[in-house]
Structure 1
Amino acid sequence: MKMLYDIAGAAPRLTALALLLPLAFGPGTAGAQTATAAARTPFARYLEAVENHSLDLAAQRETITSAQAGVSIAGVRPDPQLTYGLASKELYTPNKPNAANSMTAGLALTIETGGKRDRRIRAAQSNVRLTEATVESFRRQLFNDAASSFAEACRANQALVRQEDSLQALSDVVRMNERRKKAGDIGGLELAQSRVERDRFTADVTSARAAAQTALINLSVPLGRRYSDLFPEASLDCEFKAYTPAGDPEALVAQALKQRDDVLVAQAALENARDQAQLAHANRWVDPTFNVGISQTPRVNPIYGPEGDVINSPAEKSKTLSLTVTLPIPVSRLQKGELIQAESAVTQAMLTLRSVELKAESDVRATYGQFVAARENVRRYRESVLLDADRVLDGMRQAYRRGAASLLELLNAQRDADDTYLAYLQANADLATATVQLQLSLGLRPTL
């Protein structure tokens, strides 16, 4: 079934309006659209450019790089400590004349216990997954903003085309009235009134042109670059394709709980909180430090006094090996504040996950209802409202030409037809937005 918000596909249904507005699809509109049809930018191409060039998304991706570096940091073991220096030096030489200076060298190594390193690595890895899920959630929101901007640009551009067509039709009425006044069929008041209406519509077209240009400029915001730099053709492909949800609301809810970004973020946050709690328990284990040292004392030669007796303490050189273990006394472990905090974070993450799942279920049902309503509104416009408005306008135009209707009646019919068509374009944009929101609520990449 052709999607009901296919804007370009509405033209065949507006045959009566085309007869009424002979210049509505002239060289300035339909001809230009045909000439640039091959260069139009589809939504999929625009969305791909947003993903590749968005500055905000690029900044978010740097957080993944940082988190990945944290895995390497978490695997670092305690550095060994090297000791070298003077072990002993006799400061009172009369007591021990010719005493030797003793040198020492040592190596201290701290051994981590309780699986601290493995717990740190696991916590860092789960933090990477949490960061990736968060960035993915940001990317989906960026897609939502991009889709809204694209739909609004399509609506503003199509509204401009419609208003330009109406202005052309009113200009034709003015020219016709000028001829009729010369022929004496109408008076100057009716001609002046038609000119006033044409001039008023000229102001509306000027505003519509500015709105369309603004909507086109706003496409640059999600891109991170000027839209015209990436897409010089500037024309948008607004022939959106049909989207049919894969199942009823119950099936969609089940799909969303598996793929939806905020659910995945909450799940990753819970996993990380559990890893952090396990790390907190592991950190309560004390780490012994092993010290290995070597001391060397050079030989002390004897010193003889005047009477030939030894007056110092001679000794042969010596090397000694020492091995000690330093074990902290875990008095600080009597308090359990860090454990309570870690377990509280796990509980909070569990509650958050449940809350997110409930919100996701409600969001899917709400967006599905909005999508169905928007689709029905567009269908009603396409199948009845537009055709009826065109028939009324065509009949009023024919009646005005025969003199059976006043200019005021014709202008009112023109306004009603324009308002109806602009409302139809807004319904198209609403359906495009509802479609993207439903797809994103299911964890899908948006398509139009």
Structure 2
Amino acid sequence: MIRLPLHRSLAGLLTGLCVASAQAQSADRDGHVDFATYLDAIVRTSNDLASQREAVSSARAGIGIAGLRPDPSLSLGAGPVEFSREVNPKPRLAQSIGLSYTIETGGKRERRIAVANSQLRVSEVALEGAKRQAFADAADAFIESCRTREALQRQEASLKSLSDIVRMNELRHSAGDLGGLELLQSRNERDQFLATVVKARADARAAMEGLSAPMGRLWSEVFGTRLPGCDFQPGPASEDVDALVSRALDERDDVRAARAALDAARAAADLTRANRKVDPNVSLSYGYTPQGRRGIGDDGAPTDPTPRSNTLSVSLSVPIPLSRLDKGDLVQAESAVTQAMLALRQTELKAQADVRVTFAQYNAALENLTRYRDSTLGDADKVLDGMRTSYRHGSASLLELLSAQRAADDTHLAFLQARSDLATATVKLQLSLGRQPAL
């Protein structure tokens, strides 16, 4: 059964992970899987989270890539080769070797590393956001599984009560104390309710199947035949909603993601400005020309060969930045920063509204559950017990008993829904504050 203490502080609600750990050990001894254990399994086995972790690894590798410096260029040359017939003897081939390197200016490398680091932070916060969504889906599936299973237990108990009424009426009919029409009516009521129970069984099975999707694996593969433990213990929140809003702005992953996106946009803008600076290219080359061949001059006399030559040259080339006259890249980068600032502001406003809405929903769910538990549920059970006693003594009709049974069933199902609503509101409030949910 789900117990809901009404006098716990918000600190106990939001820092109940130690309590949840103790509950996990107890739940395991009882053969059930508590909510904290289910979340741990999701962190280990979720396909979505595994994919997002790969994105973080990729972003981390991007830091090393961003820090790479330009590669130097090595050039080898030979020639020129003389093809003219008039030139004889042919000159020997000259050889050269050169090395060139582009010098980055404007702190481009540091700016690239800053952009890569900001992208890593964006990926890490995105991973936390993926966890938040996975936990929200998991909480919905877990709570629905508990609600449908306990609703089925209630409806099966009601079916047994209707079957007991039919058996009692059969005995009374055999003794001549009850007419056949009333017996048929009780049987018809039981058979109609059986259809409701059959649907409830299907709903419970479907809810159990729904627990597999957040994990990315079948429930039976991870937990075997154990069932979810439904010993939820959400407590009331404090009344200082402004303090909750302030905490949410510091800890919510969507706010942190928006801030990381703004930092990334600013880093990208800085890199754009740095990229507008031209990068000179320095070249160093060495040339060697071997000694020439002996030849015959115009007068027929032999000529001395040209001496061998060793040369060393240095050159500096600087691009003419005509393309920098267009400032479209700067406009785009600054627009991206402005958009990120606006997105951050909108995210902060949304976070504040989310906390206030979930806080109100939580208090409303707590109030509804308190009313059911303190009065409505007990009154419905008392009416049903009294009507059963009156029917056995002949003081109440079958229609009155069936009406009381339906009212009690509706009240119990509404009570289970109220408990589920409170558990859901608890999770939503915790998630809206940027905390891992605990039930």
Instruction: Verify same fold: TM over 0.5.
Output: yes
Q: Mapping of 1:40-51 within 5 angstroms?
A: 40-51=32-43
Question: Deviation above 4 Å: which 4+ runs of structure 1?
Answer: 305-308
- 3-state SS of paired residue (1:403): coil
Indicate whether 1:356 and 2:359 are aligned: no
The structure 2 residue matched to 1:427, chosen from 418, 427, 432, is 418
CA deviation vs aligned residue, 1:13-32 (integer Å, no higher than 9, x gap)? xxxxxxxxxxxxxxxxxxxx
Offset, 1:93? 4.5
Answer yes or no: is the 8 Å Cα contact 2:236–2:366 preserved in 1. no
Judged with a 3 Å threshold, the aligned counterparts in structure 2 of structure 1 residues 307 and 344 are, in CA distance, closer, same or farther, namely: closer
Distance 1:326 1:91 in 2: 32
Answer yes or no: is the 8 Å Cα contact 1:100–1:300 preserved in 2. yes
Matched residue, 1:218: 210
Matched residue, 1:406: 397
- 3-state SS of paired residue (1:49): helix
Distance 2:369 2:236 in 1: 15
- One-letter amino acid of the structure 1 residue matched with residue 430 of structure 2: Q
Matched residue, 1:143: 135
Judged with a 3 Å threshold, the aligned counterparts in structure 2 of structure 1 residues 183 and 218 are, in CA distance, closer, same or farther, namely: same
Indicate whether 1:302 and 2:294 are aligned: yes
Offset, 1:356? 0.5
Matched residue, 1:168: 160
Answer yes or no: is the 8 Å Cα contact 2:234–2:423 preserved in 1. no
Answer yes or no: is the 8 Å Cα contact 2:48–2:130 preserved in 1. no
Offset, 1:244? 3.6
Offset, 1:260? 0.5
Answer yes or no: is the 8 Å Cα contact 2:281–2:318 preserved in 1. yes
Distance 2:226 2:104 in 1: 62
CA deviation vs aligned residue, 1:209-243 (integer Å, no higher than 9, x gap)? 01000000100000100001111133221111133
Indicate whether 1:367 and 2:362 are aligned: no
The structure 2 residue matched to 1:293, chosen from 281, 285, 291, is 285
- One-letter amino acid of the structure 2 residue matched with residue 112 of structure 1: E
TM-score (norm 2): 0.92
Indicate whether 1:256 and 2:248 are aligned: yes
- One-letter amino acid of the structure 2 residue matched with residue 162 of structure 1: R
Distance 1:274 1:96 in 2: 67
Offset, 1:184? 1.1
Matched residue, 2:4: 3
Distance 2:90 2:391 in 1: 131
Distance 1:215 1:323 in 2: 76
Structure 1: where are the runs of 5+ without partners?
Answer: 6-34
Root-mean-square deviation (CA, aligned residues, Å) is 1.8
Q: Mapping of 1:294-333 within 5 angstroms?
A: 294-304=286-296, 309-310=301-302, 314-333=305-324
CA deviation vs aligned residue, 1:261-295 (integer Å, no higher than 9, x gap)? 11000000000000000000000010011100011
Matched residue, 1:88: 80
- 3-state SS of paired residue (1:135): helix
Structure 2: where are the runs of 5+ without partners?
Answer: 7-26
- One-letter amino acid of the structure 2 residue matched with residue 43 of structure 1: F
Distance 1:95 1:58 in 2: 73
Matched residue, 1:53: 45
Matched residue, 2:23: none
> Relative to structure 2, which stretch is displaced further, 236-245 or 61-70?
236-245
Answer yes or no: is the 8 Å Cα contact 1:256–1:364 preserved in 2. yes
Judged with a 3 Å threshold, the aligned counterparts in structure 2 of structure 1 residues 213 and 301 are, in CA distance, closer, same or farther, namely: same
Distance 2:28 2:429 in 1: 31
Matched residue, 1:346: 337
Judged with a 3 Å threshold, the aligned counterparts in structure 2 of structure 1 residues 165 and 295 are, in CA distance, closer, same or farther, namely: same
Offset, 1:361? 0.4
Matched residue, 1:379: 370
- 3-state SS of paired residue (2:71): coil
CA deviation vs aligned residue, 1:95-126 (integer Å, no higher than 9, x gap)? 35232211111011111000000000010000
- One-letter amino acid of the structure 1 residue matched with residue 363 of structure 2: V
Distance 2:141 2:131 in 1: 15
Offset, 1:308? 5.3
Offset, 1:89? 2.5
Answer yes or no: is the 8 Å Cα contact 1:292–1:321 preserved in 2. yes
- 3-state SS of paired residue (1:428): helix
- 3-state SS of paired residue (1:290): strand
Distance 1:396 1:226 in 2: 45
The structure 2 residue matched to 1:266, chosen from 236, 242, 258, is 258
Distance 2:28 2:333 in 1: 61
Distance 1:344 1:98 in 2: 65
Distance 2:393 2:238 in 1: 54
Indicate whether 1:71 and 2:63 are aligned: yes
Distance 1:227 1:63 in 2: 27
- One-letter amino acid of the structure 2 residue matched with residue 265 of structure 1: A
Offset, 1:136? 0.8
- One-letter amino acid of the structure 1 residue matched with residue 170 of structure 2: E
- One-letter amino acid of the structure 2 residue matched with residue 303 of structure 1: G
Judged with a 3 Å threshold, the aligned counterparts in structure 2 of structure 1 residues 246 and 77 are, in CA distance, closer, same or farther, namely: farther
Matched residue, 2:12: none
Distance 2:363 2:62 in 1: 46
Distance 1:305 1:298 in 2: 20
